[in-house]
Structure 1
């Protein structure tokens, strides 16, 4: 939730004072003789307040900004020496091993979101993904943009921008075809169009939220966020939904990602999403056939095949 800046608080207080002073001056004018004029009369105090508000709005900050000294040395140390000879330290910063990191880079390198026609070239994909993974892998104060920018030696806006780019990167046709081939190899040809899966994960909060705190209390007795993740079989996240409290049921939380909202443009004809039984049953959001009762022997093959893909 965005916080109110000091400038906004001061401006709000001055506006209140301005309107109160304007009312007081109006009442005073009704009491005094309208024909009486004093050439030495001072400027109304309300005008002075209004001029102060205008001068205040001309400045972005009330105090002079002091540049934060930063360095990219630690970022390059992690991507260089730690990645090559100390993979356990690399994993501390990015939550993945170097081999997994290289696979992510290979899948995202050619994505259009990392290329533009601007004269100002983007940062290398490795750096953008490293910053995003460092951001994703922490919570609380450690995940604040300011702390990430100091660690990476980048600007505040740059950290936010590269994180959004990584989240916006979507699988291309080759990755989609690879996912379909995997599903078909682990199930049957009729199910190959179910190439993406959705499930809920709970992200624990460091403390009890101040606003509507009880609504964040989940079934695992933690205060958390309900995060919906849609991924390919190789666990590449292609869509997500965040912001709802941990107590929110998946039936409602499922409406947050883009795929349920824009299925016609994001999924091809006949394509569907693997879910479990807590999600709303829709023709494109389930296994293609209603799951039979598990205690019938003839259904063992079906259940084994279904769980082999979804689990």
Structure 2
């Protein structure tokens, strides 16, 4: 997709495309419901920085009860409510790799699989309003994602 006209390089991701950084927290055991999310930072934003905008980061005791926590990848800081999956060299063990992908990526993969509009930036961004409109695509997709899971 094309480079955004406003701040284009900041939308360029580590995966060599243009996008927004969206953080989502799924429930455990996973029903694929998304219980918290934040979006708005551009694709170049580091996941750990973008995570700071979530309710899970700001108010973890509001979102999680007693012994509940979220799984995160190695980019996130370990807290009482955020447990990181395996880091190298343990991440290179095949059984650990399967476990890590299942818990850390399962919900996001289901979301992107259902809503292909979330794979890459499919709208032109040439103003602040365009950025807001692109962020709304993410919000609407998450709402529909959760509604469909409830109906199934």
TM-score (norm 1): 0.29
C-alpha distance after superposition, 1:4-61 (max 9, x if no partner): xxxxxxxxxxxxxxxxxxxxxxxxxxxxxxxxxxxxxxxxxxxxxxxxxxxxxxxxxx
| 1:214 positional shift | 1.2
Residue 279 (structure 1) aligned to one of 76, 84, 87? 76
Q: How many residues align?
A: 102
Instruction: State the partner residue of 1:231.
Output: 26
| 1:224 positional shift | 0.8
Unaligned runs of 5+ in 1: 1-205
Secondary structure of 2:10's partner? helix
Q: 1:291 to 1:283 in 2, by over 3 A?
A: farther
More strand by share: 2
More helix by share: 1
C-alpha distance after superposition, 1:176-220 (max 9, x if no partner): xxxxxxxxxxxxxxxxxxxxxxxxxxxxxx543232221111122
Instruction: State the partner residue of 1:259.
Output: 56
TM-score (norm 2): 0.54
Secondary structure of 2:83's partner? coil
RMSD (Å), alpha carbons: 3.1
Q: 1:264 to 1:294 in 2, by over 3 A?
A: closer
Secondary structure of 1:253's partner? helix
Secondary structure of 2:37's partner? strand
Unaligned runs of 5+ in 2: 106-152
Q: Distance in 2 between matches of 1:251 and 1:236?
A: 21
Q: 1:209 to 1:267 in 2, by over 3 A?
A: same
Structure with higher Rg: it is 1
Q: 1:218 to 1:295 in 2, by over 3 A?
A: closer
Instruction: State the partner residue of 1:73.
Output: none
| 1:306 positional shift | 3.9
For residues 238-257 of structure 1, the aligned pairs below 5 Å read 238-257=35-54
Residue 294 (structure 1) aligned to one of 78, 82, 90? 90
Q: Using CA pairs under 8 Å that are at least 6 residues apart, name the structure with larger relative contact order, 1 or 2.
A: 2
Are 2:100 and 1:307 aligned? yes
Residue 15 (structure 2) aligned to one of 199, 213, 220? 220
Instruction: State the partner residue of 1:18.
Output: none
Q: 1:208 to 1:251 in 2, by over 3 A?
A: same
